[in-house]
Every structure is written in C-alpha cells, then in structure tokens.
Structure 1
Amino acid sequence: MEKLTAKQEINVGGLDFEWNLGNGRFLFEGEDAVLFWITSAMRTFFDTIEEVSGEEAGALVLETTGYRQGLIVSEYFVKNGVSPEEASKRIPYTYASAGWGKAEIKHLNLDEKTLSIEIKDSWEYKVNKEQGKNASGKYLPAHYAGIFTGLLGTNIWYRVVKDQLTGDDCTVVEYFPSEITVSSNIHQLARKKESEKIRELELLVEEKTKDLQELVKQISSPIIPVLEDIVVVPLIGKYDESRSEDLLVKTLFNLPKYNASYLILDLTGLDHDKDMGQYGFEFIQKLGFAASLIGIETILVGISAELGASVTQSQINLSKFQCYQTLQHGIYYALSQSGKKII
C-alpha cells in the first residue's frame, strides 16, 4: 500500500494533473480541484438545490453560477494573453480532460461576436438524464456564455437550438451579444415571485372579504318573529345598493314563512348622517311597497327627530307608513290592528 505522502503527477493532452495524498489535494493545472461522481453525488447536489429553492429558482441558480464561473475562466485566458481564437481551440481539450464531455466550438465570428458550440455527453446531460428531465439544464450553456463574455469584451447570451436530452445527436447552443444578463434574470424572477405572492394575498383577501360579506349578510338585519304574525327587522349600519337588494330579497322571501301580517322596520340603529342618504330612504320606501304587494303592512319605528328632518329634506314620502318613536309602540299598534293586546 502506498504511503499517504506519495505525490503523483500526470500530463494529459498538455494538461497537468497532480495528486498529493498526504495533503488530500488534487490539482488541475496547478489549481485545487475536486472530483465527484456524476450520477450519484452531483445528481444529489442538483436535486437538493431544486428541493430547497424550487425548480425554477434552482435552474436560475445553476445558470447564474455557470455564467459567473465562465467569467473566471475567461480571466485566466485574458490574463495569460490568450486570444479568443486560441482559447476556442484550447477549451474543448481542457474541458474534455476534466470529464465535461465533448465540446466543439464553431462559427466564431469576432466582428459580429457570435459563435455556436456543439456539446455531447456532458456531465450536466448525464445528471439531467438521471434526474428524468425533459430538457437539458442551463449551467453549461451559461458557462460558455460567461467565458466568451470575457473573451469578446461584450455581454454574450445563448439560445439552445438542439438538445441531446430530447433525442438530438448533441446539444447545439448559439451565442450572440445581448442585453440579457444573469442579474436581470435574477431580478425578473424576484419580481415574478413577488407578483405571485401579491396575487396569492389578493386572492386570500378576496376570499376572506367574501366570507366576511356573507357573515355580514347572515348577522345583520335579522328577521325576528316577535309575536304571532308580527316580524321585526332592525336596520343597522349603511345600506348600499348590494346590501339593500340582499335584504329586500331575504325579507320578502321569509315573510310568508312566518305568516307575517305586519313588518316592523326598526330604524333605531341608523345614523342619519352616515347611513341614510337618498338611496337609504328610497330603499325603505321600496321595501315597504314590496311588502304591501304580498299583503303585509309595514310599520316604521325608531325615527328620531334628526332622522325625521332628514326624511323631510330627502323629499321621499313615507307618510303612507305608520311611524312610531319606539319599537314597543309599533308592536302595540300591530296588536291593536289584529284585535289583540298584551296582558
């Protein structure tokens, strides 16, 4: 068995690999590197990113990482004075030696700053295949975009035109100058997530508002059968068009069920300034008229001096209704009309 202090070196295709077992180091071209199994360790890495951040955000994380790591690679070539043409020749061998698959750079146009790359059997393809993906990932296409952004001195983005994972012989990616950046993609996703969250909150508010409105309908203006053939409906709060129509339908639908002959509308809980506009008085008039059509007499009670003044100013005629100051008086009247009295 070899000692852990053993150092081994090998050169493949002009590229240096070095292992120092004593220090636990693996060097690629003099730089610290690391090895992972593709279909087990790397797949677990990708799966975990998606599990934590979601598939869409996970894809953006890998795309952004690939692009930024590509910029680091381009810095190496630029720092060493390697031209884009020469770098294009070196990159396929360098990446093939590191197990990144077969890559062939074609149609490099320095004037238009465009190119295409054919990629076959890359580690990302193998990971995505193990994951059961329907399309290849964005790490490698974005990685090469980062490399050529640095080499060509302008922002380069990509478009996948063929995909090995969907049955093509290889993945073909076209590269071109673009205003698309990883930062703009991050902001776009953040805005999308924010919009989705806002919409979720809006839907929740709408749902809760509907529940609240339904609750208000159930507990406001209840129909109270106080005595035989006498029903009281207390009016509380402001009655807009929707609430007024709901109460009108509810009252007229339920009055026959109680065999009512008298409908007492109790206005005690109304604020003549806040609750009783022109529409409010029209609603009372409309409800009383509709009740009379089914043979029920309407009695108004709880009319304060202020409310009476508002009625006068509204020019709504409520004189055809019997009006009393208190609910007790209204009930006494209804009983007397039936030939009854409270003993």
Structure 2
Amino acid sequence: MTDSKGSITSNPSIAVNDVQFNWDTKEGRFQFAGNDVVLFWIESAMKSFLDTIQEVSGDEAAEVVLETTGYRMGTNVSDFFKQTNVEEVVKMLPKVYGAAGWGKVTFKEFSVENKTAVIQVKDSWEYKVMKEQGKNRPGLFLPGHWAGVLSGLFEDNIWYKINKSQILGDEYSEYIYNASSITPSQNIHDLSRKEEQSQISKLEEMVLDRTKELSNLVKEISSPLIPVLDDIVVIPLLGSYDENRSNELLEKTLSKLPEFKARYLILDLTGLHGDVNEYTIALIHKLTETTSLLGTESILVGMSPELSIQMTKFGFRVEEKKLQCFSTLKHAIFYSLSQQGKQII
C-alpha cells in the first residue's frame, strides 16, 4: 500500500467485510480483527502440516486430534464474542470467516431457544487440503470447530452430525448441531480404549500363537515312545493328563507301535504324581487293553504306594489284568529279555 504521496507505507490497513486487517511490516506482524495471526498456503504449508500429524499419529488418531483442536479453537472464538448478542454474532460470523478465507459460511437454521443450528460451508480450507490429499471421507476439524463455537454461544454442550460433505461430491458441506452428551474428551477416551483393546487383542493373539506352539512342543516331547532294545518300547508317563492329552498319547502309541514291532510295552509310572486323576487311570487302562490287541504285552514300572491306592480307588485291578509290575525300569527290561530267552552280557 502507498500513502497520499505515493510512498510505500510500513503499516498498511484494510477493512474486508467490516473486519480490519493490519500489517506492521517492520515488526513482522499481521493482525486480523485486532489479534495477531499468521498466513499459510493451503495447498502446500497447511497440507504438509496435516500430512505430518496423520503420519505421526495415524489417520484415526489424527481425526480425533483435529476434531478436538477445532472444538477448542471454536470455544476461543465464542469467548471473544461472549459480550455480544448471540443473534448479532451469528450475523457477523459468516463475514468474519469469509474474510479470513475459511470459505463461504451460511447459517441455514439457528435457534437460541432450542440450541440447534444447521451450518453450510463451501470451499473451506479444510476441503481444499483434503482434496489435495486425495481424501474420500469428511474432515472433522470444521464440524468440531463450529460445535465449539455454538457450545460457547449456547452455554451448553453442542455436537454435530455431518449431513452433507463437499469432499464426497455434495455442493457444500452441511453440519447439523444439537445439544448432546458427546464431547471431544469422550472421543479421546473412546479412542484410547479402542487403542488399548486393539493392543490387548494383539497380545491375546500372540499368547494364543505361543500357546499353540508350546502345546505342539509338549505333544512332541511329552510321553515319547522310546525303543530301548529289539521288541521293547518304553513310554514314560509324565505329569497329569486330561482328555485331550490322553487321546493324543493313545493315538500316537497305536500308530507307532507297529513300526517298532514291539512285543513288550513298558509303561514307566515314576513321573506320575500320587494324586492322579481319572483320565490318567483311564489312559493306563486303554493303553494296556488296546496294545494287547496288537500282540504287545504291557508292563508297569515305578508304581508308588500312593499311585497304587489311587488306581485301586478308580477300579483299576492289576491282578485282574494279569499285568507284570516292577519297581525299576531295569528289572522290566531284564524280564522282557528273559521271556524271549535273551539276556544282557
């Protein structure tokens, strides 16, 4: 700008839509309606700013951040106009926002009594940035911002519903506002809980995968079939058994025994606890019964007094099944060899 003599002035000023813009080029200040402001290029600087937020925090978190930021900025705007009649403020705001380059703002409906409003915004800076970003979902900064403005003006919590969106192909964006219990803080907490639940779900998946790996490992190393000598196989029974573990061992034994051509199956019970359950007793019963059908004689080794009491309690009678029992694995192996006319020299 120039003064009356044609010289460039260092403090230009202009009024747009009754809103004053002032510059102090020597001090590097720019004022809008009496307050310091700063200018950004929408398609470059603002786009880079929003791109960075989304890159750092992720799309979903970025939306909540921008929505909350817009809301809090809106409450600052309402605080600025709080001494002015609400109807007058509503008439003034479209001019103020239009002069500031926020797009064409229209209050289609407005009711102080009902605390409702319908606001239409066309060609906003948010729309222009999102268009440059190639987004295909409505932005949340502006609807959140106007929710903050109206919350301050109505002195009540106001929230929005997006009725139309320019980014989705509508002629303009339209936001419907009503009194609501929804707040930016609630949305932040909901996002946090969602993130926590997501992390918990990931941990649960990791635990399930790890448990599956460990279960498979246990299957491989638990109660293995050990061929100790020709025709003699040993199965050490370890720990406690449930239905699944019992069935797995039974199936494994019946499928592997023919490969070893075992005539004697020694069940080493040393690793069983005295307080065994019904599945363990049933497993011993099934192993001795089913392997006999394959022509294999079962021998029990390492039975403690406590275990014998438990087995009797569950109805397992060694004498009825005519099973050989020995205190050590060594004696069982010697017995098996002697039955075949063999001995260890």
Matched, 1:300 2:300: yes
2:311 equivalent to 1:311: yes
Query: What SS class does the counterpart of residue 7 from structure 1 fall into?
Result: coil
CA distance in 1, matches of 2:77, 2:11: 27
Displacement after TM superposition at 1:311 (Å): 2.5
Tell me which of 71, 74, 79 is aligned to 1:70: 74
Shift of 1:318: 2.6
Alignment partners' CA distance in 2, 1:217 and 1:209: 12
Q: Secondary structure at the match of 1:175?
A: strand
**Partner residue, 1:217:** 219
Q: How many residues align?
A: 339
Of the three residues 6, 13, 17, the one matched with 2:10 is 6
For each residue in 1:145-183, what CA deviation from the matched residue of structure 2 results, as whole angstroms up to 9, or x when unmatched? Answer: 100111011111111111111111111111111111111
Secondary structure at the residue paired with 1:221?
coil
Q: Which amino acid aligns with 1:155?
A: N
The answer for the alignment partner of 1:283 in structure 2 is 283
The match for 2:58 among 47, 50, 54 is: 54
1:109 matched to 2:111? The reply is yes
Deviation at 1:64, TM superposition (A): 0.2
Hey, what's the Cα distance between the residues in 2 that align with 1:220 and 1:34? 72
Q: Using the alignment, how far apart are the partners of 1:315 and 1:5 within structure 2?
A: 109
Q: 1:222 Cα shift? A: 1.2
The question of whether the paired residues in 2 share the 8 Å contact of 1:145 and 1:175 is answered with yes
Q: Pairwise mapping of residues 152-191 of structure 1 onto structure 2 (< 5 A)?
A: 152-191=154-193
Structure 1: 5+ residue stretches without partners: none
- The worse-fitting range, judged by mean Cα deviation, of 165-174 and 278-287 is 278-287
Whole-Å Cα distance in 1 between the matches of residues 216 and 137 of structure 2? 48
Which runs of no fewer than 5 residues in structure 2 stay unpaired? none
Match of 1:336 among 316, 335, 338: 338
Partner deviation per Cα, 1:9-54 (whole Å, 9 max, x = no partner): 1111211111112211111111110100001111111111111111
Shift of residue 326, structure 1, vs aligned partner: 0.6
State the match for 1:229 in structure 2: 231
Q: Distance in 2 between matches of 1:268 and 1:162?
A: 76
- Matched AA of 1:47: D
Letter in 1 for 2:295: G
Residue among 32, 35, 41 paired with 1:31: 35
Q: Secondary structure at the residue paired with 2:93?
A: helix
What is the TM-score of this pair, normalised by structure 1? Answer: 0.95
Distance (Å, rounded) in 2 between the aligned partners of 1:42 and 1:318 = 85
Cα deviation, 1:77-129, whole Å, max 9, x if unaligned, reads 11xx2122111111111011111010101211222111101110000000000
User: Which string of whole-angstrom CA distances, capped at 9 and with x for unpartnered residues, describes residues 312-338 of structure 1?
Assistant: 333322332211111011111111222
> Structure 1's 182 and 4: CA in aligned 2 closer, same or farther, altered over 3 A?
farther
Look up the match of 1:17.
21
Match status 1:43 vs 2:47:
yes
SS of the residue corresponding to residue 18 of structure 1 reads strand
- Does the Cα contact within 8 Å between 1:83 and 1:151 map onto a contact in 2? no
Aligned with 2:92: secondary structure? helix
CA distance in 2, matches of 1:214, 1:119: 61
* C-alpha separation in 1, matches of 2:252 and 2:86: 80
Calculate percent identity across the aligned residue pairs: 52
Cα deviation 1:48-77 (Å, max 9, x = unaligned): 111111100000000000001100000011
Q: Does the CA-based 8 Å contact 1:161-1:172 persist in structure 2?
A: yes
Cα deviation, residue 4, structure 1: 11
Q: Distance in 1 between the 2:24 and 2:171 partners?
A: 39
Letter of the structure 1 residue corresponding to residue 122 of structure 2? K
Aligned amino acid, residue 282 of structure 1? A
Aligned residues of 2:118 and 2:174 also touching (Cα < 8 A): yes
User: CA contact under 8 A between 1:233 and 1:265: conserved in structure 2?
Assistant: yes
Asked if the contact 1:4/1:21 (under 8 Å) is kept, the reply is: no
Q: Could you tell me how far apart the structure 1 residues matched to 2:105 and 2:188 are?
A: 28
3-state SS, counterpart of residue 318 of structure 2: coil
TM-score, structure 2 as length reference: 0.95
1:5, distance to aligned residue in structure 2 (A): 9.0
Residues 124 and 136, structure 1, Cα contact 8 Å, conserved in 2: no
Q: Residue 124 of structure 1 corresponds to which residue in structure 2? A: 126
SS in 1 for 2:135: coil
How many angstroms does 1:309 deviate by? 2.9
Q: Secondary structure at the match of 1:255?
A: helix
